[in-house]
Amino acid sequence: MSMQQRRPLASIRFWLTLIFPSCPGASSALAQGPQSTPSTLAPVTTPAHEIFGLSLFVLLITGTIFVVVGGLLAYALIKFRARNDEDAQHEPAQVYGSLQVELAWTVIPVLIVVVLFLTTARIIFAIQDAPRPKSALEVTVVGHQFWWEFRYPTLGIVTANELHIPVSSGRQPTSTYLKLLSADVDHSFWVPQLGGKTDLIPNHPNEMWLDPRTPGLYLGQCAQFCGVEHAKMLLRVYVDTPQQFDAWVKNQQKPGAQDAAVAAGRRIFETEACMNCHTVTGTAAKGTFGPDLTHLMSRATIASGAADNTPANLRAWIRDPNQFKPGALMPAMQLSDQQIDQLVAYLTTLH
Amino acid sequence: MADQTFPIPGAVDATRPRAGLLEWLHSWVVTVDHKKLGILYIVYAIFFLLVAGAEAMAIRIQLAIPHNHFVSPEVYNELFTMHGTTMVFLVGMPILFGFANYLVPLMIGARDMAFPRLNAFSFWLTAFGGLMLYFSFIGGFGSYGVGNAPDVGWFAYAPLTARAFSPGHSTDYWALSLIVSGFGTLGTAINIIATALSMRCKGMTLMRMPLFVWLLLVVSGMTLVTITPLTAAQVMLLIDRYLGGHFFDAQAGGSPIVWLHFFWIFGHPEVYVLVLPAFAIANEIIPVFSRKAIFGYPAMVAASVGIGFVSMTVWAHHMFTVGMTAVGNAFFVLSTMLVGIPTGIKIFNWLATLWGGKIRFATPMLFCIGFLFQFLIAGLTGIMLSVAPWNWQLHNSYFVIAHFHYVLVGAIVFCIFAAIYYWYPKATGRMLSETLGKWHFWVFLIGFHITFDTMHFVGLLGMPRSIFTYEPDRGWNTLNFIISCGGFVQAVGVLIFAWNLVYSYRRGKAAGNDPWDAWTLEWSTSSPPPDYNFAVDPVVRSRRPLWDIKHPQDPDWKYER
């Protein structure tokens, strides 16, 4: 969207901030760029901007209807109230209806519906049927109870819970196409600043696209109830500058770190149940039920955003995942303290 | 036996003693009287209203602050599932059918429903369905073997309901109890249709039938069409779970999308099944307290029938995010927006009824005015949600929760309160206290707006529904705290109401036959009405028979067409 189109949005943001002063963080929620509130009012992609622009148009129409009809209601209640008991004794003139009046006020909603429908249809087609650029990055998103798997088929990368995509600038427009799948039940991919949500449904591949214009970290979470830990299926999307993204890709493409100093921990990983569910490339661990851990330490959080990725949290998580996410599908591993120390020492080398 | 006053030696006293508690209860269990069944429905629904309200309070305590541990995730999921299921199936439908049962025969001058035994059978099916749903708390095991009540959401999206993801029997309780109560609902719907079509008193043509009866007729027709796919879907679900079926099992080639279609082709018309009776109540109360005939009666009938038909074509607006084609999305945008036209006509007609009247602000009218204001907003947020691209943002957010609570509470519950204040005198012979009623109205109104107005904003700020907790850095903390506070204000309002019901039953002013100076037939008989309703079959010549009697020089039948 051009700067010309964006200016009225800025002034409307100002008014929204004035109208909703009671709304804490309203000003920050309406600010540009990444923020901790996943606000639908601070769009940074073309689809999100188009939706926001459309929503303001709809808000204008519905707001006008509200003021007119609400005003008529208030006027009628004040003007036609029974003033005193004596007044109430006499019944008012009885009016049974009027075909002309009925017709008149049927035509107005019809016209409003026509305008709203045409405007909406234009944006639906603009977003859903936008031509797909050849240069678009492809990412396959797989929803799991209760975490996200991200696969970059063209780059040979598999990661989890923290999606990295390149920023789209005027000089270098880059869009990312997400193919949405599910391994178990319905989920929904929703990062409000990046656009609307699309569901991940088993046996029903979906697609959505993003072209974020401002780099940074964008927050979201699963938006379709998917079971006991639905609330902790958080979503982090890093929009990287081209340099950051290239560096990230290079790192992710490396096999898992092999450090002789933590060989004991690696042996535990490969001989205990860990390897049944997790993958670390370059080792015997090729499980696919849980997140790929090859570059675990490149992620800021564990357990799909439920906890910071620190050695202490890793230790606590392995000992008992339920303390962060009751109902998480990873079992408590029943390892000795020494084994956990060695395992965590190994995991923390997986940069 | 009253004349057997002289003692006969050795004779057994045949005078019936004062009915004992057991006998009194027995009379309620075996009754086929539409008025008693109506009251049973309403009492049953008010009981579950308090239960589901308590569940809502627990939900709001849990969400008042981030990372709260008031309830576990498993219990939270049960709470919101049971809250939704209870409010829709055990509160909304029974209370509205209760009013229909009580009022339809009285309004059309009949002595009972067309099928009194079917009526009783339907009520007890519904009642046992509800009891079975709540029996799951002690009788079943939920997902992950932790909970034991249904915990898959009131929409129960497949494949979360498959045995792989929902082991134990909580989902079975959900499906079976709704099948059972669904059959009860169908029985009542058939009964209402038969009653309205064939039991009207002399002179009451269809176009002289009170709008309340018209709307219940439309609702009953819709019920027949919409409960059926829900029942079918639940049978399919049970086949999937126990007979190795694969209707919704994606792993074996089934389609979770099929469940969505079945559920929402029930679920969306269901909203209108609930809201049309609310309109029906407003259609009776607004004219009486404006002292004017309803404006545009034929248009109101047409709009109601129109809403009934159009509402069957809009279900997939609950599915804008499941990946339909652009054309599919556009179709359901249009069909959804079309509902706005007949609905708009209704709002204009209510306004025109107020216009030029002499409005009395008694408690029933206050609740109807609250309904008008809130339904206006609910309709407009409904238009916002029908805009598919915006829906991609708002779907499954708290904005949606705010919208449908504006419909279900702001419109329907307000109308139900209005109806109870309006017809309680007819059913009990006593007026509800106006002072308590006004306290109830204002406290509940303020609590309602604190809670549900705020919910729109937290939804716009990206908070999804169905989450048992949220991260503290999301900017939702203060708003959620405000929402929870509003919930408790509403609870205070409901408690005032409950006290009013009890207090006025003993101490309320005597009502007389016609306390509101109203115009439909139920006000021509005593309060409470005798078992046979009318000693003499009424004969009517217009839509407002009591108006004709009260104004013989200026009767309606001279003007109605």
Total H helices, total E strands in chain A: 10, 12
ipTM above 0.95 for this complex = no
Which residue blocks in A37-153 are alpha helix, DSSP H? 46-79, 85-89, 99-128
CA-based R_g, chain A, Å: 27
A118 touches chain B (CB under 8 A): no
From first to last of its 561 residues, chain B has per-residue pLDDT tens of 344 444 555 555 555 556 788 998 999 999 999 999 999 999 999 999 999 999 999 999 999 999 999 999 989 999 999 999 999 999 999 999 999 999 999 999 999 999 999 999 999 999 999 999 998 887 666 554 445 788 899 999 999 999 999 888 889 999 999 999 999 999 999 999 999 999 999 999 999 999 999 999 999 999 999 999 999 999 999 999 999 999 999 888 899 999 999 999 999 999 999 999 999 999 999 999 999 999 999 999 999 999 999 999 999 999 999 999 999 999 999 999 999 999 999 999 999 999 999 999 999 999 999 999 999 999 999 999 999 999 999 999 999 999 999 999 999 999 999 999 999 999 999 999 999 999 999 999 999 999 999 999 999 999 999 999 999 999 999 999 999 999 999 999 999 999 999 999 999 999 999 999 999 999 999 999 999 999 999 999 999 999 999 998 888 888 876
Nearest to A234 by CA among A255, A248, A258, A218: A218
Reported confidence tier of residue A15, pLDDT bands at 50, 70, 90: low
The residue assigned the tokens 């248009």 is B299
Total H helices, total E strands in chain B: 17, 0
Average pLDDT over residues A41-63: 96
Burial class (CB in 10 A: 0-12, 13-18, 19+), A44: buried
Per-residue confidence (pLDDT) for residue B65, from 0 to 100: 96
- Subunit contact B157:A224, Cβ cutoff 8 A: yes
Residues in A touching B542 (Cβ below 8 Å) = none
pLDDT more than 90, % of chain A: 77
Do the beta carbons of residue B315 and residue B267 sit within 8 Å?
yes
Distance (Å, rounded) from C-alpha B534 to C-alpha A270?
85
Going across the sheet that includes A216-221, the strands are A162-166, A234-240, A216-221
The first and second tokens of residue B202, run together, are 């002399």
Which residue blocks in A263-321 are alpha helix, DSSP H? 263-271, 274-277, 311-319
Nearest to A265 by CA among A314, A324, A298: A314
CA-based R_g, chain B, Å: 24
pLDDT per residue as tens digits for the range A64-86: 999 999 999 999 999 999 887 76
With residue A163 as reference, give the H or E element that holds it: strand A162-166
Residues in A touching B381 (Cβ below 8 Å) = 62
Q: What residues have CB less than 8 Å from A17, skipping those under 6 apart?
A: A26, A27, A30
Listing DSSP states for B55-117 in one string gives HHHHHHHHHHSTT--SS-HHHHHHHHHHHHHIIIIIIIHHHHHHHHHHHHHHHTT-SS-S-HH
Domains of chain B (ranges; CATH) run 31-560 (1.20.210.10)
Measure in Å the smallest separation between the Cα of A135 and chain B Cα atoms. 23
State the SS3 of B444-499.
Answer: HHHHHHHHHHHHHHHHHCCCECCCCCCCHHHCCHHHHHHHHHHHHHHHHHHHHHHH
Longest pairwise C-alpha distance within chain B: 91
The first and second tokens of residue B399, run together, are 């904005």
Do the beta carbons of residue B42 and residue B98 sit within 8 Å?
yes
Distance (Å, rounded) from C-alpha B71 to C-alpha B61?
9
Nearest to B38 by CA among B305, B410, B419: B419
Distance (Å, rounded) from C-alpha A210 to C-alpha A6?
18
Q: What residues have CB less than 8 Å from B425, skipping those under 6 apart?
A: B431, B432, B508, B511, B512, B515, B516, B527
Per-residue confidence (pLDDT) for residue A30, from 0 to 100: 53
Domains of chain A (ranges; CATH) run 32-247 (2.60.40.420), 260-347 (2.60.40.420)
The first and second tokens of residue B270, run together, are 């269901």
Per-residue confidence (pLDDT) for residue A333, from 0 to 100: 86
| Sign of the CA dihedral with B237 first, then B243, B247, and B251 last | positive
Q: Chain A window 21-60: which residues touch B at a Cβ cutoff of 8 Å?
A: 23-25, 28-29, 36-41, 47-48, 50-51, 54-55, 58-59
pLDDT per residue as tens digits for the range A133-159: 999 999 999 999 999 999 999 999 999
The residue assigned the tokens 């009972």 is B112
CA distances from A52 to A5, A57, A114, B386, B403 (A): 12, 9, 20, 15, 19
Do the beta carbons of residue B389 and residue A51 sit within 8 Å?
yes
Distance (Å, rounded) from C-alpha B448 to C-alpha B476?
19
The first and second tokens of residue A331, run together, are 């079992």
Average pLDDT over residues A162-187: 94
Q: What residue type is assigned to position A18 of the chain?
A: L
Distance (Å, rounded) from C-alpha A37 to C-alpha A25?
8
The first and second tokens of residue A201, run together, are 């449904």
Average pLDDT over residues A8-15: 52
Per-residue confidence (pLDDT) for residue A8, from 0 to 100: 47
Per-residue confidence (pLDDT) for residue B15, from 0 to 100: 56
The first and second tokens of residue B461, run together, are 């700020």
The first and second tokens of residue B544, run together, are 């407002």
A111 touches chain B (CB under 8 A): no
CB-nearest partner of A327 from B144, B158, B384: B144
Nearest to A269 by CA among A183, A348, A156: A348
Per-residue confidence (pLDDT) for residue A327, from 0 to 100: 84
- Subunit contact A326:B473, Cβ cutoff 8 A: no
Q: What residues have CB less than 8 Å from A230, skipping those under 6 apart?
A: A146, A222, A224, B77, B466, B467, B468
Q: What residue type is assigned to position B447 of the chain?
A: G
Residues in A touching B326 (Cβ below 8 Å) = 124-125, 128-129
The first and second tokens of residue B98, run together, are 């209760």
- Subunit contact B392:A128, Cβ cutoff 8 A: no
A64 touches chain B (CB under 8 A): no
- Subunit contact A120:B389, Cβ cutoff 8 A: yes
Measure in Å the smallest separation between the Cα of B325 and chain A Cα atoms. 8
The first and second tokens of residue A211, run together, are 């072209």
Q: Which residue of B has its CA nearest to A182?
A: B250
Residues in A touching B143 (Cβ below 8 Å) = 227-228
Residue A89 has pLDDT above 90, yes or no: no
Residues in A touching B141 (Cβ below 8 Å) = none
Top pLDDT among A293 and A9 is at A293
Residues in B touching A94 (Cβ below 8 Å) = 292-293, 554, 556, 559
Per-residue confidence (pLDDT) for residue A244, from 0 to 100: 96
Measure in Å the smallest separation between the Cα of B451 and chain A Cα atoms. 13
Distance (Å, rounded) from C-alpha B332 to C-alpha B311?
11
